[in-house]
Structure 1
């Protein structure tokens, strides 16, 4: 079952992780009793290892993997429930390792959803309530950083706590910092941030900086890592505050994007899921710390043996058929009788001395019995049945392990290919940068020779044209709402937002968003020049014409004015490129968008941005698609 949520909780050494896990679990299950609102369980009672049925479609499996030699306790509590939304699981691992050198008491909580892929599980699986209960009840730390169940409001005297959390080199959870936009909004802002971070419980700790505390807080951070009023910034692990380039790792959610999702004083829609996704994925995909990995392997082996024994027992029970005499009247009875009864049949004559002696050896070898009687034969039959089913179950488990191994190998191969693709992209970009630097040096020397020193000064981009940190922010700039950007005067996004957000999942540093924004600027300047009749022709002509008026441009090789004939002549592929536009552009609400910009050509994802040039009519360009490379001969 794909893991959609995983969090690690290190608690104080004077606590017992197993006792904490069981206490929290019992309380959580009681909340789910059918007598409570939205409850589904018939009972919340269970005791000891094994499988416990708690409701019509709910069961709890408890696994013990304790070792007396080192007084360690490793337990798994796996709750599985099926409802209209699917089959859901929550696993709680209690790891009490009193002789461990570093972490003696740890809990791990996982949640998953059956029959979906990992990316969908990350979106659909909410953090279990038990995770918030744990954080609100116990002192939980990640490195030296305290994890909170709800955003902690920071006053002036507490500003250092945020700095210490951001700079903590040992933390693995994210640190979310939200600065209040104004003193009279502190309380409302706290509620907004609480609703925004509800999907980040356990994988991040959040701080709300009050307006009064902002001066003290802002003085602690360099400008590159600053958080402004109204912004929410997520600091990932291993932040290097002395390196300005490190700031790109720590994303900012701006007030315009945030405000678009606030309804009734709470953040609604998909934004909480998207905001939490990077941190959730990191915990779900990253290699576990060594102590936890080893403990979970021990528990996994114990669970495998438990599952095998339970399955064998069930199969043996189903295979037992009570003997009858139907149709057996003419069959001579087996010449084996209870040992307490004198045989009515001469075994030596009926079975032969060799067979009987051999049967006696079998009994002594496998059952440690000296007599050949009905009880011994039945015991031998039971043992053989058990072993036969045990072998069958073990073979099935090996087959399943083989399939999982094959899937993992495929994933590793795909990741290796993607790594190779990215390395090639990097090599191409590096070569381009070297050539651009050479060209720059050439022209700078020419300008110096001509004593045109004023022309050596390169003006900085206006602040409003700064690159977005995510594709989501880019889309918000080009659609209706408070985040609307001046670029929307000429460029409008009309495509499916969900497809665009998939690009963010592939790019934690926002590189794709920056490149896409460069292409948006190309389209904006092209459309602006068209509106003033400064140029004529298509986007590609604008990019390839060195005599065109000054405007933002990109390398012509990053643009395609149309698709190949095989794509346009294949109905299914062509339909993928028929994308939405306003009704005033086309009465059907759709047009073919074969022109597109290319971010990368090295992998099957290879993001694309398809657009329709309507500058001759509405004066605008409509971007109908940002996302994974649409189907073609190579995908």
Structure 2
């Protein structure tokens, strides 16, 4: 089940996005004690005990480049899959980086929740590493491994950021005042936002910035000193109804639930917000292409398989043959080969290696089939939930329409007398107005 998702843009400029991503990927694999050098394009490889990897690449006719790396780890609780996808347009437009972590579902302890639910997934170290070397953004919001500090008039720029409807994730704004010790308060805010990295953008306002932001957005959307507010995409400052969407963490709640409960609650909420959103069109298109490429690789295998069967013509050293006479004799007996030549032996070894690769591919296909089954079940569950929600909303709409019909005046009754006069000769005076000659006291339509 999808436990974590991060999708962000990277301005290319003079940065080689793919090169930096590869560097951080190899560093991440080495820290996990995996064989980072084993990763190569279009090959299913073993990275270590109970860990496999695959690298897929794609070059577009428009000059774009894309890659996908999938690392599968078999753990006692089930299979964890880490997937990194990068797309770099040839036009120079911002690149896209997309990280998904898929892990097994867990049993729910809550009677009101489904029997199985999403498992908690901590923020991947790979995402933190990428954000330290890439100028990442979610719409107009800057993503980083730590919240940004905002001073004075710079807080006015936050108005456009919280209003931005193109954002996928939340924006966290923390207010302060002179009586609050700035260092400890901001350190506390950073700890609270530790599990939102890669999903939401954090901004820490100094006392003056807190006042500037309050004046810019108005009372409905202000962030009071000592509080933290979560702004969802498309905020509308000044709209009191919209203000209800953007939750506020009070000072008392922050001090009471700081560790470890509150950071995880914020992380859960951030994950739900992003996972429930539709992926960008570019990501959907790439996912379809890479999934097809992976399936072909699992079924067809590497192109070098057939070539590896061809016998080599190198002559074996007489000294080696003399030393391995006993081994050759055993091979002749086991293989029922009366005349076992060096070329024949190489051919048999090549077939054995192909058999090993076929076993790996067969296991890969089995895992892939189970993965697709789980995804199908998740999609069906999501479809059922959406269908149930639609039924509920349809029923509520029908009830609201019925209540509205009861409140409407009965036919033949008009709220405003329909007999009216108008002066079309004078601009601004051609609007209908009730006629003073109407003598019907019940406001029944005059005839």
Partner of 1:235: 231
Shift of 1:26: 1.9
Q: State yes or no: 1:420 paired with 2:391.
A: yes
Q: Does the C-alpha gap of structure 1 residues 123 and 197 become closer, same or farther in structure 2, counting only changes over 3 Å?
A: farther
Question: Which of 250, 264, 268 is the matching residue for 1:277?
Answer: 268
Q: Report the 3-state secondary structure (helix = DSSP H, G, I; strand = E; otherwise coil) of the residue aligned with 1:124.
A: coil
Deviation string 1:392-445 (CA, Å, 9 cap, x unpaired) is 99899679746744552343133211221233245546767998999xxxxxxx
Instruction: Please say if residues 5 and 110 of structure 1, whose CA atoms lie closer than 8 Å, have aligned partners that are also in contact.
Output: yes
Q: Report the 3-state secondary structure (helix = DSSP H, G, I; strand = E; otherwise coil) of the residue aligned with 2:168.
A: coil
Deviation string 1:364-406 (CA, Å, 9 cap, x unpaired) is xxxxxxxxxxxxxxx9xx99xx99x999998996797467445
Instruction: Please say if residues 169 and 199 of structure 2, whose CA atoms lie closer than 8 Å, have aligned partners that are also in contact.
Output: yes
Partner of 1:55: 48
Q: State yes or no: 1:224 paired with 2:205.
A: no
Give the TM-score normalised by the residue count of structure 2.
0.69
Deviation string 1:314-347 (CA, Å, 9 cap, x unpaired) is 9xx9xxxx99888999xxx9xxxxxxxxxxxxxx
Q: Report the 3-state secondary structure (helix = DSSP H, G, I; strand = E; otherwise coil) of the residue aligned with 1:220.
A: helix
Shift of 1:158: 1.7
CA distance in structure 1 between the partners assigned to 2:104 and 2:37 by the alignment: 25
Question: Which of 125, 134, 138 is the matching residue for 1:138?
Answer: 134
Q: Does the C-alpha gap of structure 1 residues 424 and 155 become closer, same or farther in structure 2, counting only changes over 3 Å?
A: same
Partner of 2:5: 6
CA distance in structure 2 between the partners assigned to 1:136 and 1:163 by the alignment: 25
Shift of 1:277: 2.4
Shift of 1:175: 0.9
Question: Which of 273, 287, 299 is the matching residue for 1:308?
Answer: 299
Partner of 1:288: 279
CA distance in structure 2 between the partners assigned to 1:403 and 1:57 by the alignment: 20
Partner of 1:17: 17
Instruction: Please say if residues 123 and 196 of structure 2, whose CA atoms lie closer than 8 Å, have aligned partners that are also in contact.
Output: yes
Q: CA RMSD in A?
A: 4.5
Structure 2: runs of 5+ lacking an equivalent: 109-113, 309-329, 339-349, 410-447
Question: Which of 58, 69, 81 is the matching residue for 1:66?
Answer: 58
CA distance in structure 2 between the partners assigned to 1:249 and 1:393 by the alignment: 44
Q: Report the 3-state secondary structure (helix = DSSP H, G, I; strand = E; otherwise coil) of the residue aligned with 2:167.
A: coil
Partner of 1:26: 26
Shift of 1:123: 5.5
Q: Does the C-alpha gap of structure 1 residues 202 and 400 become closer, same or farther in structure 2, counting only changes over 3 Å?
A: closer
Q: Report the 3-state secondary structure (helix = DSSP H, G, I; strand = E; otherwise coil) of the residue aligned with 1:219.
A: helix
Shift of 1:5: 0.9
Q: Does the C-alpha gap of structure 1 residues 390 and 78 become closer, same or farther in structure 2, counting only changes over 3 Å?
A: closer
CA distance in structure 1 between the partners assigned to 2:365 and 2:36 by the alignment: 32
Q: State yes or no: 1:152 paired with 2:148.
A: yes
Partner of 1:107: 97
Deviation string 1:453-483 (CA, Å, 9 cap, x unpaired) is xxxxxxxxxxxxxxxxxxxxxxxxxxxxxxx
CA distance in structure 2 between the partners assigned to 1:395 and 1:213 by the alignment: 56
CA distance in structure 1 between the partners assigned to 2:117 and 2:99 by the alignment: 15
1:379-458 mapped onto 2 (5 Å cutoff): 401=372, 404-405=375-376, 407-425=378-396, 427-428=398-399
Instruction: Please say if residues 210 and 223 of structure 2, whose CA atoms lie closer than 8 Å, have aligned partners that are also in contact.
Output: no
CA distance in structure 2 between the partners assigned to 1:311 and 1:117 by the alignment: 39
Q: State yes or no: 1:207 paired with 2:174.
A: no
Give the TM-score normalised by the residue count of structure 1.
0.50
CA distance in structure 2 between the partners assigned to 1:84 and 1:397 by the alignment: 19
Q: Report the 3-state secondary structure (helix = DSSP H, G, I; strand = E; otherwise coil) of the residue aligned with 1:249.
A: coil
Q: State yes or no: 1:170 paired with 2:166.
A: yes
Q: State yes or no: 1:77 paired with 2:69.
A: yes
Instruction: Please say if residues 8 and 109 of structure 1, whose CA atoms lie closer than 8 Å, have aligned partners that are also in contact.
Output: yes
CA distance in structure 2 between the partners assigned to 1:220 and 1:165 by the alignment: 13
Q: Does the C-alpha gap of structure 1 residues 312 and 274 become closer, same or farther in structure 2, counting only changes over 3 Å?
A: farther
Shift of 1:252: 1.2
CA distance in structure 1 between the partners assigned to 2:334 and 2:159 by the alignment: 83
Instruction: Please say if residues 174 and 229 of structure 2, whose CA atoms lie closer than 8 Å, have aligned partners that are also in contact.
Output: yes
Deviation string 1:250-293 (CA, Å, 9 cap, x unpaired) is 111122222112xxxxx312221222323312322322110111
1:538-549 mapped onto 2 (5 Å cutoff): none
Shift of 1:93: 1.1
Instruction: Please say if residues 4 and 113 of structure 1, whose CA atoms lie closer than 8 Å, have aligned partners that are also in contact.
Output: yes
Shift of 1:51: 3.6
Partner of 1:179: 175
Q: Report the 3-state secondary structure (helix = DSSP H, G, I; strand = E; otherwise coil) of the residue aligned with 2:208.
A: coil
Structure 1: runs of 5+ lacking an equivalent: 33-39, 262-266, 334-378, 439-635
CA distance in structure 1 between the partners assigned to 2:273 and 2:103 by the alignment: 18
CA distance in structure 2 between the partners assigned to 1:413 and 1:134 by the alignment: 36
